[in-house]
């Protein structure tokens, strides 16, 4: 019997194999569900396959979780997303302006890769259109965050106190964004 059984048993595909000076093998499921395998030099393909086979359930579960979120992302055209993002986010901004009494100068959307929002010295607020892909409470968190920068420019204790006055559970949403943000920033080019 050859080694082919390993390959046929393994329905897990390696998307990227990186050999380097490291001592151990590591498996990573990237935000786009790709499987990245890092190995030391001189490790046989069979050994790598055996490790993957052992971790098969974990890998497939992670990939499934990511892919479950993806179809939703592909249903609309880019222009529809832009319009939807604009109307949804501006409604939330206006809602929080009414409840806090804060006033911004100009509202705009951005296509930034990493920033979810910004607030300029002159009071212009900008939001990442990819926010349309996140749950509404998380959009609200980003909105409250940027609006609070109209009052406090930095991320001092005072700033977070102000945020928590409007949104006592903001940490939950901040955590969600930190954990899922990278995946989302790879969507909607
Ligand atoms: Zn900030």
- Using the predicted structure, report yes or no on whether residue 70 has a pLDDT greater than 80: no
The total of structural domains in the chain comes to 2
Q: pLDDT class for 3, splitting at 50, 70, 90?
A: very low
Q: What's the gap in Å between 79 CA and the centre of ligand 1?
A: 28
Domain endpoint, select from 73, 105, 121? 73
Q: Model confidence over 85-136: pLDDT tens digits?
A: 899 999 999 999 999 999 999 999 998 877 899 999 999 999 998 888 888 9
- Give the closest residue to 38 by CA, choosing from 111, 84, 182, 51: 51
Q: pLDDT class for 67, splitting at 50, 70, 90?
A: confident
The CA-atom distances, in angstroms, between 59 and each of 93, 156, 163, 168, 173 are: 39, 39, 37, 36, 26
Q: pLDDT class for 162, splitting at 50, 70, 90?
A: very high
SS3 98: helix
Q: What's the gap in Å between 119 CA and the centre of ligand 1?
A: 8
Give yes or no: residues 65 and 106 share one domain: no
Cα angle 73, 79, 85; round to 5: 65
Q: What's the gap in Å between 178 CA and the centre of ligand 1?
A: 13
Give yes or no: residues 160 and 88 share one domain: yes
Better-scored residue on pLDDT, 10 or 151? 151
Domain endpoint, select from 22, 47, 73? 73
Q: Which domain, by its residues, includes 121?
A: 78-185
Give yes or no: residues 9 and 96 share one domain: no
Q: What's the gap in Å between 29 CA and the centre of ligand 1?
A: 29
Give yes or no: residues 117 and 93 share one domain: yes
- Using the predicted structure, report yes or no on whether residue 4 has a pLDDT greater than 90: no
Give yes or no: residues 24 and 85 share one domain: no
* Neighbour-count burial for 20-51, b at 16+ CB within 10 Å, e otherwise: eeeeeeebebbeebebebebeeeeeeeebbeb
Q: What's the gap in Å between 149 CA and the centre of ligand 1?
A: 7
Give yes or no: residues 88 and 46 share one domain: no
Q: What's the gap in Å between 148 CA and the centre of ligand 1?
A: 8
Give yes or no: residues 57 and 123 share one domain: no
Give yes or no: residues 94 and 181 share one domain: yes
- CATH number for 171: 3.30.2010.10
Give yes or no: residues 85 and 145 share one domain: yes
Q: pLDDT class for 71, splitting at 50, 70, 90?
A: low
Give yes or no: residues 84 and 58 share one domain: no
Per-residue confidence (pLDDT) for residue 15, from 0 to 100: 85
Q: What's the gap in Å between 165 CA and the centre of ligand 1?
A: 16
Q: What's the gap in Å between 128 CA and the centre of ligand 1?
A: 13
Q: Model confidence over 16-62: pLDDT tens digits?
A: 889 999 999 999 998 778 899 999 998 888 888 888 888 998 999 99
Give yes or no: residues 62 and 49 share one domain: yes
Q: What's the gap in Å between 96 CA and the centre of ligand 1?
A: 16
The CA-atom distances, in angstroms, between 78 and each of 69, 115, 188 are: 17, 19, 7
The pTM (predicted TM-score) of the whole model is 0.62
Better-scored residue on pLDDT, 1 or 51? 51
Q: What's the gap in Å between 145 CA and the centre of ligand 1?
A: 6
Q: What's the gap in Å between 146 CA and the centre of ligand 1?
A: 6
Q: What's the gap in Å between 154 CA and the centre of ligand 1?
A: 7
Give yes or no: residues 84 and 35 share one domain: no
Domain endpoint, select from 18, 39, 73? 73
Q: What's the gap in Å between 47 CA and the centre of ligand 1?
A: 46
Q: What's the gap in Å between 65 CA and the centre of ligand 1?
A: 29
């Amino acid at each position: 019997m050859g080694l082919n059984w390993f390959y046929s048993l393994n329905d897990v595909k390696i998307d990227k194999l990186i050999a380097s000076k490291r001592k151990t093998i590591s498996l990573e499921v990237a935000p786009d569900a790709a499987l990245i395998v890092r190995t030391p030099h001189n490790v046989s393909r069979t050994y790598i396959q055996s490790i993957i086979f052992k971790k098969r359930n974990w890998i497939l579960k992670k990939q499934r979780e990511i892919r479950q979120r993806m179809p939703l992302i592909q249903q609309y055209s880019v222009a529809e997303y832009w319009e939807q993002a604009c109307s949804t986010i501006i409604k939330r901004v206006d809602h929080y302006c009414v409840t806090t009494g804060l006033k911004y100068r100009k509202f705009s959307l951005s296509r930034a890769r990493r920033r979810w929002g910004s607030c300029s010295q002159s009071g212009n607020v900008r939001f990442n259109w990819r926010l349309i892909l996140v749950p509404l409470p998380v959009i609200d968190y980003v909105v409250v965050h940027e609006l609070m920068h109209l009052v406090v420019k930095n991320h001092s204790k005072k700033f977070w106190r102000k945020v928590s006055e409007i949104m006592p559970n903001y940490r939950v949403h901040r955590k969600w964004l930190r954990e899922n943000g990278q995946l989302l920033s790879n969507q909607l080019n």
